[in-house]
Amino acid sequence: MDRGRSCAGSSCSRWFAAGFPSTSRFATATAIRDRIAPRGKVRLEDISSLVDELLDDRYDLDALGAVTAIEPPRVVEEDGSWSPFSKGILAVSLMGAGLEPEDAHDVAREIERSLLRQGRAAIDRTELRHLVAATIERTDGPGPARWYRVWRSARDDGKPSLVLWAAPRAPARRRSRSRSRAGSSCRA
């Protein structure tokens, strides 16, 4: 993974969420990536300073006021441990459940927006799974939501599972008459 690109994009997203034009997002993220790529490892503070420097040349940051970094909500396990919500991990999980990549990423983005809009600092994993199923049902229909629930159930029971996916069978092609007669009408 290109850490410069992901860090720069993440950092820029905070500023643009505060009102910066989306047309500047790619240019700013690219400029940050180009500056930090030769360094290898970079501290978050250095990225924030670089964002300030690049954006201060184009915008009046003082007029904006303080921008608070938005932390992703925590996904809390039954044992109390937690991990940050990740759109990427959720999207990969949804692809494993049969959603197309674009649909999986759309659902993951919608879930994240919903959690942030609600100001949720944490969500129980079981509640998150119900939210995911409801979102899939609303956006993709009951069939994909049912597949997600079946897939989650199979994964959660702890037993090894073998799932066979089958597409509808295409009709068998018929042999052309000229081909089937060719063998019988050959003359030596």
Q: pLDDT: is 10 or 147 the higher one?
A: 147
Q: What's the pLDDT tens digit per position in 19-60?
A: 555 566 677 778 777 887 787 777 777 777 777 777 766 665
pLDDT band at residue 133 using 50, 70 and 90 as cut-offs: very high
Domain boundaries, the chain: 3-64, 74-156
**Residue type present at position 137:** E
DSSP run (H or E) holding 74: strand 74-76
Average pLDDT, the chain: 74
Contact 85, 74 (CB under 8 A): yes
| Strand 122-124 versus strand 74-76 pairing type | parallel
Q: What's the pLDDT tens digit per position in 91-117?
A: 999 998 889 999 999 999 999 989 988
Segment 148-171 shows an average pLDDT of 73
Q: Is pLDDT of 7 > 60?
A: no
Residue recorded with tokens 């915008």 = 59
Residue 79 and residue 159: Cα distance in Å, rounded?
Answer: 21
Residue 13 and residue 7: Cα distance in Å, rounded?
Answer: 10
Overall pTM surpassing 0.85 (yes/no):
no
- Nearest by Cα to 52 from 18, 75, 81: 18
- Look at residue 169 in the predicted model and tell me its pLDDT: 58
- Nearest by Cα to 94 from 106, 82, 78: 106
Helix H segments across 57-117? Answer: 61-64, 87-96, 101-117
Q: Is pLDDT of 122 > 50?
A: yes
pLDDT band at residue 81 using 50, 70 and 90 as cut-offs: very high
